[in-house]
Amino acid sequence: MQRFSLYQEEYHPSPLHFTWLEFKQNHIAVVGLYCLLFFVVITVFCPILAPFDPTLQSAGDLLIPPAWYSNGGISHLLGTDALGRDILSRVIYGCRMTFGISVILVILAMLIGVGLGAVAGMSEGFRSSFVNHVLDSIKAIPTLLIAIIIIAILGIGLVNSMWAIMLALIPQFVHQTREFVSREMKKEYVLAAKLDGANNIQIFFRSIIPNMGEALVVQATLALSISVLDISALGFLNLGAQSPMPELGTMLSEGIEVAYIAPWTIAIPGGTIFLMMISINLVGDGLRSALRNRLLH
């Protein structure tokens, strides 16, 4: 429907609206967005959606197949594990733990990384060169390896794995913010703000932050996929969440022992992690394409 305007003037959408219009043209990215929103709903309304207690064990319901098996039942739609726990409830709570914790870790890493990156981008001389070389060296190391090294120092457990993943994600935000701030500090609008008497803090919050919001969203989606994968990997290696916590990686580790006789115990949590990763990456790629097309126009 054409937009009505009382005055005969051309309508120009806002940058955010234009980004959304470009994003909608990528139908695969829109499907990924719907899947991502599905995981958000599960994370928020997890206690309402789960039919059973995820840690409740039942000796009479061991390794019940999912409902689509001939010997399955509707009481446990996705079956049960080797301890008689409902897999659907554990997957729902596992999404909350894996996805919800990842979102929190990305937000914290972004806040710390943006602050450190702003200081690094506005510094000059030896301090700037030292910080830049250190950050480039750390960024070359995989985040999972950094997390494992930190866990080796702090010890295993969910809380320590959260600290490890957050510390491993911070250099990525620092690196991106440093490059963005160093480029923006050379532009004319920043020079004009300096001539008006603004200090570096005022320039960063009033001039630079509004321009890098969308770039941070793209980086956050990339960091979110890394965080989900790292939490699941650490849980699978028994370095993160410990049994009986309903975490997707821990569920995979527990299901390996009975994978031959009950393949659904690893197929369902593994498929959930795969779908979560695909949806996050599709949204991230769609955002990058939309921002690139907006800048070209």
pLDDT of amino acid 107? 93
Cα dihedral 6, 12, 14, 19, rounded to 10, equals: 130
At residue 1, the pLDDT reads: 47
Confidence at residue 7, expressed as pLDDT on a 0 to 100 scale: 53
What does the chain look like in DSSP terms, one character per residue?
Answer: -PPP-SS-------HHHHHHHHHHT-HHHHHHHHHHHHHHHHHHSHHHH-SS-TT---TTSTTPPPTTSTT--TTSTT-B-TT--BHHHHHHHHHHHHHHHHHHHHHHHHHHHHHHHHHHHH--HHHHHHHHHHHHHHHTS-HHHHHHHHHHHH-SSHHHHHHHHHHHHHHHHHHHHHHHHHHHTTSHHHHHHHHTT--HHHHIIIIIHHHHHHHHHHHHHHHHHHHHHHHHHHHHTTSSS-TTS--HHHHHHHHGGGTTT-THHHHHHHHHHHHHHHHHHHHHHHHHHHHHHHHH-
Instruction: Give me the pLDDT at residue 127, please.
Output: 67
Of residues 219, 220, 215, 185, the one with CA closest to residue 200: 185
**Paired residues of 80 in beta bridges:** 86
Domains along the chain with CATH numbers: 26-296 (1.10.3720.10)
pLDDT confidence of residue 37 = 93
Residue 13 has a pLDDT of 65
- The phi-psi region of residue 169 (left if phi > 0; otherwise alpha if psi is between -120 and 50; otherwise beta) is alpha
pTM over 0.75: yes
| pLDDT by position in tens, the chain (length 297) | 455 555 555 556 666 777 778 888 888 999 999 999 999 999 999 989 988 888 888 888 888 888 888 887 788 888 888 888 999 999 999 999 999 999 999 999 999 988 888 888 787 766 666 777 777 777 777 888 888 888 888 888 888 888 888 888 888 888 888 888 888 887 888 888 877 777 878 888 888 887 787 778 888 888 999 999 999 999 898 888 888 888 999 999 888 888 888 888 999 999 999 999 999 999 988 888 887 776 666
Q: What is the pLDDT of residue 90?
A: 92
Q: Which two tokens stand for residue 94?
A: 């596992």
